[in-house]
Amino acid sequence: MTIYAAKTFSEWFADLQARFINDFITDNRWKFLWNGLGVTLKITAGALVIGVLLGFLVAAVRATHDKTGKLRFLNVLAKLYLTVIRGTPVVVQLLITYFVILAPLGVNEVLVAICAFGINSGAYVAEIVRAGIMSIDNGQFEAGRSLGFNYPQTMWYIILPQAFKNILPALCNEFIVLLKETSVSGYVALQDLTKGGDIIRGRTFDAFLPLIAVALIYLVIVLILTKLVSILERRLRSSEH
Amino acid sequence: MSTKKKKSKPAAEKAAEEKKPELEKAETAAKKPAEKPLKEKQPEPEKKEILEELLKPEETIEAEGGEMSESLIMVRNLEKHYGDLHALDGVSMNIEKGEVVVIIGPSGSGKSTFLRSLNLLEMPTSGEIIFEGVNMLDKHVDINVHRQKMGMVFQHFNLFPHMTIMKNVTIAPMKLLKKSREEAEEKAHELLRRVGLDDRAQSYPSQLSGGQKQRIAIVRALCMEPDVMLFDEPTSALDPEMVGEVLDVMKSLAKEGMTMAVVTHEMGFAKEVADRVVFMADGKILETGSPEEIFSNPKTEKAKQFLASVLS
């Protein structure tokens, strides 16, 4: 304790500098973070696409069943999917996808992660979209049908554009969660951003700087994403007034 | 039912006749343009009277032979159950081309349900709806095609809030009738001018008053060039000072010979514009007749009570 207290600020700063150089500069260790970030973004983007497509599809099935009573079989399938995915941890889903289903086939790990996270995210997107569809006044639906639009046309031209505007904040939230959830990719031997920080920690035995760096990078990405969505939101809303 | 066999032939006749009324539209601005050619074809003097009598289901079935190819819409024994509630109890009615039918009755009488059944927004439990010779309840009928010919105006307007007024009124003609943008917008401008709202074409629905919204809703339906317009309490959600502007548009439509079925509480409109007033209660048609007959000389107790309460 007394030794610490005796340290001057300049000594402390010099120490930090040395650790920084050791953690990130020596042997180009920053590349662990840089490459990890690439993997994280790849997985997030891929999972996002799958999640949104799957989510809208499942939501369409569920909403159609709710509104018309048709598609009973598909609705049961969709419900089963939602129950299983939302009822089990994403890490377990990732491990099962990797070790049980895809590893024996020799599929690339990034692809495995994209599938696992995409299927997981799809369940949450589906319920968000369904809530959005159900939030639109039934009169909108009737107006579309009375003009002669069929069910899919009414959905596409009239219901979904309005629903999308309403669910944008919830969707943005889901994307943020997805980005952060990919930090468990290390479980299947993927070197994502979190794993990159962890590798540096293993080499330098310094936990503080690598982990803070990883946290900061996630934070910055989330801030950028939030900003983009709020711009989109404002633009969509401005069209109404 | 025994009526089913007869249906196919008149349907074909009907199709052939379709072209005629088109021509007449130009000739006569007067109401009921359909009467003339029909009388030429089938000179039965009592036919008109029979039509007036069509309120009773049993008679309808017997008398139909001749009338099958006449009416724009023929409804036979329409039934609708919501669980235990018997919303429509054997409703039969004909609507002639060019006719303005106003449906009145106490709330819960099934008048809105009936109107919404005509374009199958409500699915009837049983019965027949024959529109332009086609049984709409036939499983093989593409209802979307026939809905294009039935414009509908709702109590709550139901304009699309995410589209400009122009987009609201042109999206259906462009997507469904495959009109070009120019063609659709030209028609839209013409109709918007008629209701006095051409300057609001680039506004959004949220920027309009209730009366303006409802006039736009009428234009949206008219842009599909329908053969009949259905109005479901079009003025009930409006502030009193805006009712007039909407009724004026409807009156001018009626004058041009548009076939209209109107559910409304506006008795003044019914008296002035209706060719026929239909009084409904408890899911049944209790009375039908000219406005004078219904308003000055109601026969049933329910109609007397209802009219006393609304006209006082």
Q: For chain B, give the number of residues.
A: 312
Average pLDDT score, chain B: 83
Q: Quick check: B111 pLDDT over 70?
A: yes
Closest residue of B to A146, CA-based? B147
How many helices (H) and strands (E) are present in chain A, helices listed first? 11, 0
Yes or no: say if B294 and B121 are a contact pair by the CB < 8 Å rule.
no
- State the average pLDDT over residues B28-43: 44
User: According to the model, what pLDDT value does residue B146 have?
Assistant: 93
Q: What is the bridge-based pairing of β-strands B259-263 and B100-104?
A: parallel
Closest residue of B to A236, CA-based? B162
Per residue in B112-126, pLDDT (tens digit) is 999 999 999 999 999
Q: Which residues of B38-73 are buried (b: 16+ CB within 10 A; e: fewer)?
A: beeeeeeeebeebbeebbebeebbebbebbbbbbbb
CA of B41, closest CA in chain A: separation in Å? Answer: 33
B-chain residues within 8 Å CB-CB of A147? Answer: 147-148, 172, 176, 220-221, 224
**SS3 assignment for B65-125:** HHHCCCCCEEEEEEEEEECCEEEEEEEEEEECCCCEEEEECCCCCCHHHHHHHHCCCCCCC
CA-angle at A210, arms to A208 and A214, nearest 5°: 115
Q: Quick check: B28 pLDDT over 90?
A: no
Spatial separation of the C-alpha atoms in residues B296 and B243, rounded to whole Å: 24
Say whether B207 and A241 touch across the interface (CB within 8 A): yes
Q: Which residues of A99-111 are buried (b: 16+ CB within 10 A; e: fewer)?
A: eeebeeeeeebbe
Reported ipTM: the value is 0.76
Yes or no: say if B47 and B67 are a contact pair by the CB < 8 Å rule.
yes
User: According to the model, what pLDDT value does residue B61 have?
Assistant: 41
| Inter-residue long-range contacts of B57-66, CB under 8 Å, 24+ positions, other chains counted | B57/B90, B57/B92, B60/B92, B61/B1, B61/B2, B61/B3, B64/B3, B64/B6, B65/B6, B66/B42
Q: Which of A19-23, B80-84, B206-210 is modeled with the greatest confidence? A: B206-210
Q: Quick check: B6 pLDDT over 50?
A: no
- By the 10 Å C-beta count (0-12 exposed, 13-18 middle, 19+ buried), A10 is classed as exposed
Q: What is the bridge-based pairing of β-strands B100-104 and B276-281?
A: parallel
Please tell me which of the candidates A139, A148, A241 has its beta carbon nearest to residue B147: A148
Closest CA to B38 of B54, B55, B20: B20
| Residues ≥6 apart with Cβ < 8 Å to A41 | A221
- In a mutagenesis test of the A interface, which of B150, B156, B158 is the best target, namely the one with the most A β-carbons within 10 Å? B158
User: According to the model, what pLDDT value does residue A22 have?
Assistant: 86
Say whether B206 and A142 touch across the interface (CB within 8 A): no
User: According to the model, what pLDDT value does residue B119 have?
Assistant: 92
Q: Quick check: B63 pLDDT over 60?
A: no
Q: Quick check: B239 pLDDT over 90?
A: yes
How many helices (H) and strands (E) are present in chain B, helices listed first? 14, 10
- In a mutagenesis test of the B interface, which of A142, A147, A166 is the best target, namely the one with the most B β-carbons within 10 Å? A147
User: According to the model, what pLDDT value does residue A3 have?
Assistant: 53
User: According to the model, what pLDDT value does residue A5 have?
Assistant: 56
Spatial separation of the C-alpha atoms in residues A34 and B21, rounded to whole Å: 75
- In a mutagenesis test of the B interface, which of A135, A138, A146, A158 is the best target, namely the one with the most B β-carbons within 10 Å? A146
Per residue in A86-132, pLDDT (tens digit) is 999 999 999 999 888 877 787 888 999 999 999 999 999 999 999 99
Q: Quick check: B76 pLDDT over 50?
A: yes
User: According to the model, what pLDDT value does residue B46 have?
Assistant: 53
- What are the structure tokens assigned to A185, written together? 């990719």
Please tell me which of the candidates A139, A239, A240 has its beta carbon nearest to residue B154: A139
Q: Please measure the distance between the N-terminal and C-terminal CA atoms of chain A and give it in whole angstroms.
A: 64
Global pTM reads 0.76
Residue numbers in chain A where pLDDT is lower than 70: 1-6, 239-241
Please tell me which of the candidates A142, A148, A158 has its beta carbon nearest to residue B148: A148
User: According to the model, what pLDDT value does residue B22 have?
Assistant: 45
Please state at what angle helix B57-67 crosses helix B3-17, rounded to 10 degrees: 40
Q: Per mean pLDDT, which range of B36-45, B231-240, B258-267 is the poorest?
A: B36-45
Per residue in B245-260, pLDDT (tens digit) is 999 999 999 999 999 9
User: Where residue B5 falls among pLDDT bands split at 50, 70, 90?
Assistant: very low
Considering only residues A191 and B69, tell me which one the structure prediction assigns the higher pLDDT: A191
Yes or no: say if B229 and B100 are a contact pair by the CB < 8 Å rule.
no
Say whether B156 and A150 touch across the interface (CB within 8 A): no
Closest residue of B to A138, CA-based? B158
- State the average pLDDT over residues B167-196: 95
Closest CA to A129 of A52, A230, A232: A52
Q: What is the DSSP string of A22-53?
A: IIIIGGGTHHHHHHHHHHHHHHHHHHHHHHHH
| For chain B, percent of residues with pLDDT exceeding 90 | 71
CA of A73, closest CA in chain B: separation in Å? Answer: 22
Interface of A with B in 150-169 (CB under 8 A): 150, 153, 157-158, 161-162, 165
User: According to the model, what pLDDT value does residue A235 have?
Assistant: 86
Q: Is A67 on the interface with B (CB under 8 A)?
A: no
Spatial separation of the C-alpha atoms in residues A94 and B95, rounded to whole Å: 64
Say whether A146 and B161 touch across the interface (CB within 8 A): no
User: According to the model, what pLDDT value does residue A119 have?
Assistant: 96
- What are the structure tokens assigned to A212, written together? 């803070």
Q: Is A234 on the interface with B (CB under 8 A)?
A: no
User: What is the CB neighbour count within 10 angstroms for residue A220?
Assistant: 10
Size of interface A-B (CB pairs under 8 A): 64
Say whether A240 and B162 touch across the interface (CB within 8 A): yes
Q: Which residues in B have their CB inside 8 Å of a CB on A?
A: 119, 121, 144-145, 147-148, 150-152, 154, 156, 158-162, 171-172, 175-176, 204, 206-207, 220-221, 224
Q: Is A135 on the interface with B (CB under 8 A)?
A: no
CA-angle at A168, arms to A162 and A174, nearest 5°: 140
Please tell me which of the candidates B119, B151, B206 has its beta carbon nearest to residue A240: B206
